[in-house]
Structure 1
Amino acid sequence: MFLTKLALAQMIDISAVKADSTAKEVESCVNAAMEHKFIAVFPLPTFAMYTKNLLKEQKGIILGGTVGFPSGSTTTNTKVFEAKELIGIGCQELDMVINIAKLKSKMLDEVSTDVSAVTKIAGDIPVKVILEVSLLSDEEIATGSRIIRDCGAKFIKTGTGWSGATTLEHIRVIKNSVGNSIDIKVAGGVRNLESLLKIHEMGVSRFGLGYKAAIDVMAEYDRTKVE
């Protein structure tokens, strides 16, 4: 599948969301987005305003915010407050973590209420809901995927990047559960151009990469075009 360099960059959200991601790394993340035209930048909430100021009037780069990150086990009220605050700062997309513990406990009504509360407060702001697939059984992935779709989220996202990698089988389970009724963002384990393109061919439209990995993917694209 042929992709232009810009089309590739516009599928990639880049982030600096490790526990020890510094202000300097956030700045490097923003600079990478500007240079390569990545579609979105995601910092941790503590750096949301800082990132907004770095982006200034830069057009075409989305400021993203994380909600309930990375465990998903904050209360629903806390997630709603966090979503409101991030939207107020200027975040244009939200990546929230599903309540993993309650999903695994089969407390599905509470899981649905949690997701719905955030999508409702977000309104027209797209919400991607993170499953953290490496911690879930196939049944839990399928159930969680249907909940996310039914609660009005824009994307199912596979992971936070803090846990294990997303596999092709994880994506197949999601696809078998919800088909093409909701978009999918894969994060965790995508480290090169080949794996990204293979996953894209499965119908995945967005990818979440740490900014250093994303820069490496773009460099690999350039080498491939030269060869």
Structure 2
Amino acid sequence: MEFGKFIDHTLLKPNATVDDIKNLCDEAKQYNFYSVCVNSYYAALADSQLRNTDIKVCAVVGFPFGAQKASVKAFEAKQCAQDCADEIDMVLNVGMLKSGYYDLIEEEIRMVKNAIEERTLKVIFENCYLTDEQKKIACNLSIKAGADFIKTSTGFGTGGATLADVELMKKEVGDRIKIKASGGIRDRETAVAFIRAGAERIGTSSGIKILSE
């Protein structure tokens, strides 16, 4: 598989403009990335720019803090699906996970998955705020709830992806679910290291630099 197909070409800055999103999509076509990853408002725009290509549209939900009600996340995800997003990256409720409300976490993941049906769901943990045990619990809750990927971070927390976290997640889940590494991955050497550690997708705004190295 060509290297660009590991990459979700990402632009999630709050000041991203319509022209910025169009440019992101043009770059994705030029470099043949797997997808573009955008804020939910821009899912329809990205879809309009990427029609008649095999590049997917990924939209984030509950971003970046995950502190919305499960019903709100499910509604946002359903709207993204109606706007032709192929994949959803949702932030789980970090505070509720840390509080031990595991049934709530499992239920919100399941609600979002049900809302998007056959589309791919990735669950963002925001590992910088979690203990290793909480990361393992989140792994298993995501699997039980029917998610397709687990993801290290939003890129908006106090820390991004680490090799130690991907290795821990891979050891916990084996081949039961896929892993996306995201947050602070800015060069090819680092991206390759994450793939070797078990990540099957890389979320980065530095995809062009990575492919150019």
TM-score range, shorter chain: over 0.9
> For residues 49-76 of structure 1, what are the alpha-carbon distances to aligned partners after superposition, in whole Å with 9 as ceiling and x for unaligned?
2222222x23111011111111111111
**2:126 paired with 1:132:** yes
Match of 1:96 among 86, 90, 97: 90
d(CA) in 2 for partners of 1:218, 1:195: 12
The question of whether the paired residues in 2 share the 8 Å contact of 1:103 and 1:111 is answered with yes
**2:97 paired with 1:122:** no
d(CA) in 1 for partners of 2:80, 2:34: 18
d(CA) in 1 for partners of 2:88, 2:163: 25
Match of 1:192 among 166, 187, 199: 187
d(CA) in 2 for partners of 1:180, 1:111: 22
> For residues 181-223 of structure 1, what are the alpha-carbon distances to aligned partners after superposition, in whole Å with 9 as ceiling and x for unaligned?
110000012111001111111121101011xx11100110xxx
> For residues 95-115 of structure 1, what are the alpha-carbon distances to aligned partners after superposition, in whole Å with 9 as ceiling and x for unaligned?
111111100111111111111
d(CA) in 1 for partners of 2:44, 2:118: 21
**2:18 paired with 1:23:** yes
**Counterpart amino acid of 2:146?**
G
4+ runs of 1 displaced by more than 4 Å?
A: none
d(CA) in 2 for partners of 1:113, 1:160: 21
Match of 1:150 among 123, 144, 153: 144
The question of whether the paired residues in 1 share the 8 Å contact of 2:75 and 2:115 is answered with no
For the residue of structure 2 that corresponds to 1:180, the secondary structure is: coil
The question of whether the paired residues in 2 share the 8 Å contact of 1:154 and 1:183 is answered with yes
The question of whether the paired residues in 2 share the 8 Å contact of 1:96 and 1:129 is answered with yes
Structure 2 portions without partners, runs of 5+: none
d(CA) in 2 for partners of 1:76, 1:218: 37
**2:60 paired with 1:59:** no
**2:38 paired with 1:43:** yes
2:212 — aligned with what? 219
**Counterpart amino acid of 1:39?**
Y
> For residues 7-59 of structure 1, what are the alpha-carbon distances to aligned partners after superposition, in whole Å with 9 as ceiling and x for unaligned?
1101100111112222222122111101000010111112222222222x231
d(CA) in 2 for partners of 1:145, 1:26: 32
2:160 — aligned with what? 165
2:7 — aligned with what? 12
**2:177 paired with 1:182:** yes
In the superposition, the TM-score normalised over structure 2's length comes to 0.96
In the superposition, the TM-score normalised over structure 1's length comes to 0.90
For the residue of structure 1 that corresponds to 2:37, the secondary structure is: strand
d(CA) in 2 for partners of 1:157, 1:109: 20
**Counterpart amino acid of 1:116?**
R
Structure 1 portions without partners, runs of 5+: 1-5, 221-227
Percent identity for Structure 1 against Structure 2? 30
